[in-house]
């Protein structure tokens, strides 16, 4: 299998690529080829990353190549992990980048060229995961420019789901793996809606184990919605190792059959499900058949509270789409 990673000399990739090199991530018996992509100014740093990967002597890796030209890198690719882009929390052209949406004008353009190259040159079965922010709308830009409806484009909401599971496990006193059907709806932004109404712990609905709507509204939701900012504030840089793990978990979730009764999280193009307007990339509960097909799970029931939260994030996705109309 050929795996492309952009932004390969960046922070997230430094943790992500070693995860991808371990056995059992991709559902194939052959070894993987890695095509690592950077901008020309970062190629020297990327060579250092490659030296460390070589020194790790992974039994699952066949070949590692580096590229500063996306169109050569994505030829025949099975997976493209699009991490390369600028994070928030930095000063760009004299202005502090505060929200992920502020990155639209800076990062959006990256995904037009990458989308075109992937659409033309990668396999029709290629899976594409956009990590670079604002991930949902960057995925929309990429997918629109790819013009290849057989490829599967996704944006990452797995990190939000893992954060939500971690906080819920702390509250209930269970293990994160005991939590099923915890879905994050909408945008990877402060409007996202992590839903506990359909979450199940060891066979029991969360609502039967905990009756604390005050905690949900005043602590849980803002904590998950603002966790990225909390990390930037504490670390002075945006999340990296947790984002890398979430990206690898997304690949695994797509590659392998979803466990019975559970879902996984990523943003895919909306078909109008759950009141999210058609044609934007939204977080949804998904399942995989382990043979390359993923689909939206449609049996979640939503209270009026949940619907009102989902309509806010749906509106924001529409607004972001309108802002990048010239790139679509
Ligand atoms: P970083 O600055 O450490 O690394 C980004 C790398 O991308 C740099 O090495 C840069 O040279 C490279 N790059 C820039 N433009 C490129 C291009 N056109 N082609 C190839 N490479 C390019 O940043 P990071 O911490 O690794 O974060 C990367 C992105 O991921 C940011 O946009 C960040 O906001 C986002 N992120 C998303 C999530 C999520 O949950 N979706 C979580 C964490 C971070
Ligand atoms: C995160 O959620 O940690 C990332 O999207 C980085 C950010 O800008 O918050």
The domains located in the chain, with CATH, are 2-155 (3.40.50.720), 158-327 (3.90.110.10)
Collect the ranges in the chain with pLDDT lower than 50: none
Q: Are the beta carbons of 154 and 250 closer than 8 angstroms?
A: yes
Q: Which sequence positions are flagged as catalytic?
A: 188
Q: What is the SS3 assignment for 275?
A: helix
pLDDT tens track for 122-160: 999 999 999 999 999 999 999 999 999 999 999 999 999
Pick from 14, 45, 66, 85 the residue to mutate for probing ligand 1's pocket: most ligand atoms within 8 Å of its CB: 85
Q: Which residues line ligand 1 (CB under 6 A)?
A: 6-7, 9-12, 37-39, 42, 83-88, 110, 131-133, 135, 156, 159, 188, 238-240, 243
Of residues 54, 58, 60, the one with CA closest to residue 24: 60
Structure tokens, 166:
């971690």
Task: Point out the ligand 1 atom lying closest to the alpha carbon of residue 246.
Answer: 40
The pLDDT value recorded for residue 71 is 97
Query: Distance between CA atoms of 173 and 202, rounded to whole angstroms?
Result: 12
pLDDT tens track for 33-51: 999 999 999 999 999 999 9
The pLDDT value recorded for residue 102 is 82
Q: What is the SS3 assignment for 112?
A: helix
Whole-model pTM: value is 0.98
The pLDDT value recorded for residue 230 is 97
Task: Point out the ligand 2 atom lying closest to the alpha carbon of residue 243.
Answer: 3
Task: Point out the ligand 2 atom lying closest to the alpha carbon of residue 229.
Answer: 9
**319 CA → ligand 2 middle, Å:** 20
**107 CA → ligand 1 middle, Å:** 9
Q: Are the beta carbons of 317 and 104 closer than 8 angstroms?
A: no
User: Looking up tokens 């060891």, which residue turns up?
Assistant: 202
In this structure, the number of other CB atoms found within 10 A of the CB of residue 236 comes to 8
Q: Under the phi-then-psi rule, with left for phi > 0, alpha for psi from -120 to 50, and beta for the rest, what region is 13? A: alpha
Residue 317, classified by CB atoms within 10 Å of its CB into exposed (0-12), middle (13-18) or buried (19+), is buried
pLDDT tens track for 84-114: 998 888 888 888 888 787 888 888 889 999 9
Structure tokens, 160:
């939000």
């Amino acid at each position: 299998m050929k795996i492309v990673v952009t932004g390969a000399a960046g922070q997230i990739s430094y943790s992500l690529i070693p995860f991808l090199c371990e056995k059992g991530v991709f559902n194939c018996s052959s070894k993987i080829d890695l095509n690592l992509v950077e901008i020309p100014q970062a190629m020297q740093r990327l060579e250092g990353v490659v030296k460390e990967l070589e020194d790790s002597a992974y039994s699952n890796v066949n070949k590692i190549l580096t590229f500063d030209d996306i169109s050569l890198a994505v030829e025949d690719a099975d997976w493209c992990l699009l991490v390369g882009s600028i994070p928030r929390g930095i000063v760009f052209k004299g202005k502090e980048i505060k929200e992920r949406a502020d990155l639209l004008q800076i990062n959006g353009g990256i995904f037009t060229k990458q989308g075109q190259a992937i659409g033309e040159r990668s396999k029709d079965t290629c899976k594409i995961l956009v990590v670079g922010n604002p991930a949902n709308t960057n995925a929309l830009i990429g997918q629109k420019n790819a013009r290849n409806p057989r490829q599967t484009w996704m944006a990452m909401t797995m990190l939000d789901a893992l954060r939500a599971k971690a906080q819920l496990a702390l509250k209930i006193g269970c293990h994160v793996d005991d939590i099923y059907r915890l879905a994050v709806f909408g945008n990877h932004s402060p409007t996202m809606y992590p839903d506990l109404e359909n979450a199940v712990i060891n066979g029991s609905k969360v609502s039967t184990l905990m009756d604390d709507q005050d905690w949900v509204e005043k602590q849980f939701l803002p904590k998950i919605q603002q966790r990225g900012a909390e990390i930037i504030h504490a670390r002075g840089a945006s999340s990296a190792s947790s984002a890398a793990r979430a990206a690898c978990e997304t690949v695994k979730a797509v590659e392998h059959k979803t466990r019975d009764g559970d879902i996984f999280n990523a943003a895919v193009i909306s078909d109008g499900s759950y009141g999210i307007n058609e044609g934007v990339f939204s977080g949804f509960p998904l399942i995989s058949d382990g043979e390359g097909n993923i689909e939206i799970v449609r049996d979640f029931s939503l209270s009026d509270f949940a619907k009102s939260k989902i309509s806010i994030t749906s509106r924001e996705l529409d607004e972001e789409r309108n802002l990048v109309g010239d790139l679509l």
